[in-house]
Amino acid sequence: MILNLNTVPALAWTPLEFFSPVWEWGTPVKQQLLAMDTGSSVTWVTCIGSAFQAGDYSYLKSTTCTLVTCADPGCVPYGTLCVHQAAECPFTLKYFSSVASVDGIFVKDTITFSENLSVPSMMFGCGFPKAPIKEDFSGTGVMGLTNHPLSMASQFGSVFSYCIGNMHDPSYGFNTLILNDGLLLGNSTPILNILSKIYVNLQSITVRGEVLDINPIIFDRDITHGGSGTIMDSGSPKTLLADVAYNALRDKLKQIMAPVSAEAMCFYNLQPSQVPEVEFIFEQGAKLSLGMGALFSPGESSPRVQCFNGVKPTSGMSGVLGNVTLIGINAQQFHNIGYDYNAGKMYISMV
């Protein structure tokens, strides 16, 4: 099932670059805008009544909606929250990159993916966010794409892919998500799903073909500490680099280029030809090739100023993220990213 993420371009792109499928939910249909997130386990939409997140889906008004009870097999992962078998199946989600949490109940309803495709009885969450889930995100929920049984990916066979082009062009019309039978192109690399996060084995970072002096152990997941390892996360716009990796990449780019602001790594009237190619090299040879669009974004003060996308985990997040490296959607531009959870592999192909 091939889905164009830019069917409604004005809705499928937001200032912080969350790519969001626009689908219709329930009967009568209500259009929903979801953040496409490989770091989230559950697909959910905001129910009417949330003061923190837009949304007009109401399970009470949809004629095709049925409530999921604690007796439903689909509720098993959340059974510890159940009061009794006849009760509504509840859920609570927390997002480690913010203070946001979402409480809600699971329902089943019809989702209309396109004019010719409607799927009845899809299970998803009806959420009541307690705070905005992502800064400046104007959508109505999250599309979970992990290997969790209730994620959208798992409900469509655990094989999917997406291809994202120019993140900074809202009129770019070729962003594509394929569910149920993804395009698995290019070299593959092993993945490990832990606590609804996709861990990969990042082995090195190169600039103009030169391998940076970074001990690869910094990218490894330490099973004794949750705050380490390398995560692929389409729900995060920026890329978080472990301190050692961030410093090495920043210093190399500063050596080659001449930033206006050395601390913020900002450049005035930056051109693609001035930006050296940066590559993230994974186990078994898969790689992400990062050019200007992936490494830099327009600054807040002026669109003529471009600032480095790589960031360190902030002090407010260090207790959760620690020495983690998180590869966000910006770094995945101009690549087809395919996942096969059944085989435990991710495929990367530059387009």
Q: Which residues pair with 24 in a beta bridge?
A: 31, 112
Chain position carrying tokens 């609804």: 196
User: CB within 8 A of 86, min separation 6: which ones?
Assistant: 69, 70, 71
Cα gap 243→216, rounded to integer Å = 13
Cα gap 302→187, rounded to integer Å = 38
Q: Which residues pair with 129 in a beta bridge?
A: 102
Give the chain's length: 351
Cα gap 182→340, rounded to integer Å = 8
Long-range contacts of 14-18 (CB under 8 A, 24+ apart): 14/136, 14/137, 14/138, 14/139, 15/136, 16/134, 16/135, 16/136, 16/137, 16/237, 17/167, 17/168, 17/237, 17/297, 17/329, 17/330, 18/134, 18/137, 18/139, 18/235, 18/237, 18/329
User: CB within 8 A of 45, min separation 6: which ones?
Assistant: 25, 32, 34, 55, 57, 124, 125, 126, 127, 140, 141
Catalytic amino acids? 37, 233
Q: Is 178 helix (H, G, I), strand (E, B) or coil?
A: strand
Cα gap 337→29, rounded to integer Å = 30
Cα gap 249→212, rounded to integer Å = 7
User: What's the Cα-to-Cα distance from 287 to each of 41, 159, 234, 281, 295, rounded to whole Å?
Assistant: 25, 20, 16, 5, 15
User: Three-class SS string for 15-37?
Assistant: CCCCCCCEEEECCCCEEEEEEEE
